[in-house]
Amino acid sequence: MNSIVIKNLLRFLGLGLVQILILKSIDISWGNFNFIHLFIYPLVILLLPLKTPRVIVILIAFFLGLTIDVFYDSLGVHASASVFMAFCRKIVLRFLEPYGGYKTDIIPSLKNMGITWFFIYSGILLFLHLLFYFSMEAFSIVFIFQILMNTIFSFIFSIILIFLHQFIFNTKI
pLDDT on residue 132: 97
Give CA–CA dist 136/98, Å, rounded.
34
Residue 33 pLDDT level (bands cut at 50, 70, 90) = confident
- Alpha-carbon distance values, 143 to 39, 84, 136, 148 (Å): 21, 21, 11, 9
Residue 2 pLDDT level (bands cut at 50, 70, 90) = confident
Asked whether residue 139 carries a pLDDT value surpassing 80, the answer given is: yes
- Tell me the torsion sign for CA atoms 79, 80, 85, 89: positive
pTM for the predicted model, two decimal places: 0.92
Helix axis angle, 54-72 to 77-95, nearest 10°: 150
Give CA–CA dist 74/71, Å, rounded.
8
Delimit the domains of the chain by residue range.
3-25+42-169
Q: What pLDDT digit, counting tens, does each position of 96-137 carry? A: 988 888 876 788 999 889 899 999 999 999 999 999 999 999
